[in-house]
Amino acid sequence: MQPLKYLSGYPEEVQHRVRTLLDQDRLGTILSEKYGEAHAVRNDRQLYEYTVQMKDRYLRKAEPLNKVVYDGKLHVVKHALGTHTTVSRVQGSRLKASREIRIASVFRDAPAEFLKMIVVHELAHLKESDHNKSFYQLCMHMAPDYHQLEFDLRLYLTQLEMGARPQGD
């Protein structure tokens, strides 16, 4: 039996239910009914604008973002779904911190809610580097249904990897 790598932290009972939906070829349909809305954030410039808008709305006081890009080489599972880095560069005599967010390119074609979820996740890391209680409080400040979105994103990634292609695709 192939492991469900995006759901490895969840109870066996949950994984079993997901396997059943995959076997019955129902997971894709359930997800597309729930998350039918696409987004129009197609390139890095649009992704930067989208992220800065959300930051200005919820985390105005956090340090400014220098760069936000889609990254085709990013493996979603490695660091729970995205990366956030602080690159220090020496500029003249000053050390300037450059905040950078990379979003796995699978999100370019993912439903709108999942892009929102991953951007919320990465923005929360501007203030909290660990996945601790205050980190998740920040996430829920920006997206009240954050936990449901993260779980459903894991289902979506599982479906992408292990599910059958939707008919007519």
Q: Which of 169, 146, 154 is nearest to 6 (CA)?
A: 154
Q: Record the tokens describing residue 107, joined without a space.
A: 């999100």
Please tell me whether residue 135 binds Zn ion under the rule CB under 5 A: no
Q: Which is nearer to Zn ion, 44 or 128 (CB)?
A: 128
Which of residues 7 and 80 has its CB atom nearest to Zn ion in the complex?
80
Q: x/- contact string, 78-97, with Zn ion (CB under 5 A)?
A: --x-----------------
Q: Residue 10 is encoded by which pair of tokens? A: 């969840």
* 52 interacts with Zn ion by CB under 5 A: no
36 Cβ neighbours under 8 A, 6+ residues apart: 111
Specify the residue, 31 or 139, whose C-beta has the smaller distance to Zn ion. Answer: 139
End-to-end CA distance of the chain: 27
φ and ψ of 110, to 5 deg: -85, 160
Q: How far is the CB of 118 from Zn ion (least distance, A)?
A: 9
- Taking the C-alpha atoms of residue 29 and residue 166, their distance in angstroms, rounded to an integer, is 8
Between residues 62 and 80, which has the closer beta carbon with respect to Zn ion? 80
Residue 41: CB minimum distance to Zn ion, A: 20
Q: Residue with CB nearest Zn ion?
A: 80
Q: Quote the radius of gyration of the chain (alpha carbons, Å).
A: 17
Residues that bind Zn ion (CB under 5 A): 80
